[in-house]
Amino acid sequence: MAGFNFATIGKVFADTFHLNISKNGAFIGLQSGPHVHGFVIPLQLAKMMRDVLQKTIEEFESKNGEIDISSGTTGILSDIQPR
């Protein structure tokens, strides 16, 4: 997002996500191997995240080709992924 400096925060490679939604908010669990980091966010923020993710991914794919999700996260390489 504009104005946010991603270089100033630590990064954890997430290989799995979990989601549970209720009238009280969205619980998102991002998993890195055996470690899970959980976040509860208001439903309004969840919808905003959905919209931003969709727009950003569409822009990325228009420049770089479609992202293949057929094999899940198996074999994904990332600069921040533990080796």
Average pLDDT, consecutive stretches of 10 residues, N- to C-terminus, the chain (83 residues):
81 89 95 91 96 95 87 60 56
The pLDDT, as a whole number, for residue 55 is: 97
Q: Examine residue 7 and state whether it is found in any structural domain, yes or no.
A: no
Q: Examine residue 83 and state whether it is found in any structural domain, yes or no.
A: no
- Which stretch of DSSP H or E encloses residue 17? strand 16-22
Q: Examine residue 20 and state whether it is found in any structural domain, yes or no.
A: yes
The pLDDT, as a whole number, for residue 13 is: 86
Q: Examine residue 29 and state whether it is found in any structural domain, yes or no.
A: yes
The pLDDT, as a whole number, for residue 22 is: 96
Q: Examine residue 22 and state whether it is found in any structural domain, yes or no.
A: yes
Q: Which domain holds residue 57?
A: 12-64
Q: Examine residue 4 and state whether it is found in any structural domain, yes or no.
A: no
Q: Mark residue 18 as left, alpha or beta (left: phi above 0; alpha: psi -120 to 50; beta: remaining).
A: beta
Whole-model pTM over 0.75 = no
Q: Examine residue 36 and state whether it is found in any structural domain, yes or no.
A: yes
Nearest one of 30, 27, 18 to 45, comparing CA atoms: 27
d(CA 50, CA 60): 15
Q: Examine residue 80 and state whether it is found in any structural domain, yes or no.
A: no
Number of domains observed in the structure of the chain? 1
